């Protein structure tokens, strides 16, 4: 049983992003998203490094 449909979740995310844009402005929101993406990428690299620590290629 689905509680929330993908359309409803998408609409809610759009509304939240719209409110955040109205409150903070476009460029501040772009900066927040960019910094979040950089943090996500760094976290991904750290996790991948931890997964591959047990592999010894020598």
Render pLDDT for 24-39 as a digit per residue (tens, 0 to 9). 999 999 999 999 999 9
Question: Predicted confidence band at 1 (pLDDT cuts at 50, 70, 90)?
Answer: low
Q: Residue 56: is its pLDDT beyond 60?
A: no
Instruction: Give the whole-angstrom CA distance, residue 20 versus residue 23.
Output: 5
Report the half-sphere exposure of 52 (CA within 13 A, side-chain side): 7
6-15 CB contacts, 8 Å cutoff, 24+ apart: none
Is the confidence at residue 55, as pLDDT, over 70?
no
Residue ranges per domain, the chain?
Answer: 25-58
Q: Which residue has the higher pLDDT, 52 or 19?
A: 19
Q: Is the pTM for the entire model greater than 0.85?
A: no
Q: Please count the residues of the chain.
A: 58
Residue with tokens 């995310």: 13
């Amino acid at each position: 049983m689905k509680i929330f449909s993908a359309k409803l979740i998408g609409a809610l995310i759009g509304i939240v992003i719209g409110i955040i844009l109205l409150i903070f402005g476009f460029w501040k929101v772009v900066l927040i998203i960019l910094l979040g993406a950089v943090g996500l990428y760094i976290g991904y690299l750290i996790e991948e490094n931890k997964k591959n620590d047990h592999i010894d290629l020598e």
